């Protein structure tokens, strides 16, 4: 792994992969391909999340934690993307160790210091903004994946990235995204109605979430970009939420601090493991019966059609 030491760069592979105009303006900084003129004040060093889990063997039961982590996002990527594929992770921060082991992996993020945390695991780390277009040639990627990145783009940004994804993927290539959505979850709706400004500050502005859209709006964007939706799954439709949601809800006045503080306690430390298992089981059972709009998080699996683009964009499979 780790082609990121400048001496180990494979120039022929770089030329096959990257657009010439990007490569000409590329700097190598700490082993990272940098396509930005200057670091971004908001995102530089802001997120350094890293998913460390590596199964001892790539089979059951060692792979069970992949089903538990991040609402089964790693599990879904493993299921839809074969080993050895050329995969790009957008907004990767400090990456997913398992992806580095399984794929010819590339990570793209705005933050150089976040990428430094994954330079050893991924074949290539790229500092760039997706808003400047993806630096890749047409049809060179098997899959593009991301967790909690999509909601950092506004609608225009999502549409622009959608057409770039279609360009850089091979026919039949996959997109697997996990992201926050604008939710109608009764509990969140209650607190939002109580103090809309606080809701915006906690759930949107502090994190750079400029793209909280409904599930239906996101679907429209994916279909307009010409993707087929193979699978869509909503999470956190009930009172049971990730600890980060409780940390935010704790800030509401009244008895919220006590209640959400208690829930946050239940979902932290070693207790996070049984709590996560409970949430995943709930998602596989009760959540399926609840309305789509109640989800706070969504995961989609998209496919670039193998044939020429049909009039009116993509469609939902099945």
Ligand X SMILES: C[S@@+](CC[C@H](N)C(=O)[O-])C[C@H]1O[C@@H](n2cnc3c(N)ncnc32)[C@H](O)[C@@H]1O
Task: Give φ, ψ of 130 to 5 degrees.
Answer: -65, -20
Compare residues 135 and 226 and give the one whose CB is closer to ligand X. 135
Block residue for tokens 């990235």: 161
Cβ 284 to ligand X, closest distance in Å? 21
Q: If you ran DSSP here, which 8-state letter would residue 37 be given?
A: S
Long-range CB contact pairs, 244-248, < 8 A, 24+: 245/188, 245/296, 248/202, 248/203
Cβ 260 to ligand X, closest distance in Å? 21
Compare residues 70 and 185 and give the one whose CB is closer to ligand X. 70
Which residues here bind ligand X, judged by CB under 6 A?
43, 47, 49, 91-93, 108-111, 114, 129-131, 147-149, 152
Cβ 215 to ligand X, closest distance in Å? 19
The 3-state DSSP class for residue 288 equals helix
What does each C-alpha distance from 67 to 40, 192, 246, 264, 315 come to in angstroms?
Answer: 34, 31, 23, 22, 27
Rounded to 10 degrees, what is the CA torsion of 130, 133, 137, 143?
30
* Side-by-side strand order, sheet with 32-34: 27-29, 32-34, 124-127, 104-109, 86-90, 141-147, 169-180, 297-303, 228-235
Compare residues 178 and 228 and give the one whose CB is closer to ligand X. 178
Q: If you ran DSSP here, which 8-state letter would residue 5 be given?
A: S
Compare residues 42 and 62 and give the one whose CB is closer to ligand X. 42
Q: Residue with CB nearest ligand X?
A: 91
**Radius of gyration in angstroms for the set of CA atoms belonging to the chain, rounded to a whole number:** 20
Compare residues 47 and 252 and give the one whose CB is closer to ligand X. 47
Compare residues 85 and 114 and give the one whose CB is closer to ligand X. 114
Cβ 135 to ligand X, closest distance in Å? 11
Cβ 259 to ligand X, closest distance in Å? 26
Cβ 55 to ligand X, closest distance in Å? 19
């Amino acid at each position: 792994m780790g082609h990121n030491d400048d001496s180990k760069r494979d120039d022929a592979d770089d030329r096959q992969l990257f657009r010439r105009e990007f490569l000409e303006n590329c700097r190598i900084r700490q082993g990272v391909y940098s396509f930005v003129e200057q670091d971004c004040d908001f995102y530089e060093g802001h997120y350094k999340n890293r998913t460390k889990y590596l199964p001892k063997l790539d089979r059951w039961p060692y792979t069970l934690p992949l089903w538990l982590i991040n609402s089964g996002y790693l599990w879904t990527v493993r299921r839809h993307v074969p080993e050895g594929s050329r995969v790009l992770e957008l907004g990767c921060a400090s990456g997913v160790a398992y992806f580095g082991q399984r794929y010819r992996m590339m990570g793209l993020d705005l933050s150089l210091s976040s990428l430094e945390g994954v330079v050893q695991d991924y074949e290539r780390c790229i500092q760039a903004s997706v808003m400047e277009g993806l630096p890749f040639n047409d049809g060179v990627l098997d899959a593009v994946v991301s967790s909690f990145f999509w909601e950092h783009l506004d609608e225009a940004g999502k549409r622009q990235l959608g057409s770039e994804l279609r360009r850089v993927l091979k026919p039949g290539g996959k997109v697997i995204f996990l992201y926050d959505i604008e939710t109608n979850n009764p509990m969140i709706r209650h607190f939002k109605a109580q103090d809309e400004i606080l809701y915006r500050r906690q759930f949107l502005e502090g994190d750079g979430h400029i793209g909280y859209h409904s599930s239906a709006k996101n679907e429209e964007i994916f279909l307009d970009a010409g993707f087929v939706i193979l699978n869509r799954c909503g999470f956190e439709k009930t009172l049971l939420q990730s600890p980060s949601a409780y940390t935010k809800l704790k800030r509401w006045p009244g008895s919220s601090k006590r209640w959400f503080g208690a829930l946050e306690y239940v979902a932290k430390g070693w207790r996070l493991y049984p709590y996560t298992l409970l949430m995943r089981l709930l998602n596989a059972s009760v959540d399926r019966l609840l309305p789509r709009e109640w989800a706070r998080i969504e995961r989609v699996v998209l496919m670039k059609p193998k044939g020429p683009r049909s009039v009116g964009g993509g469609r939902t499979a099945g």
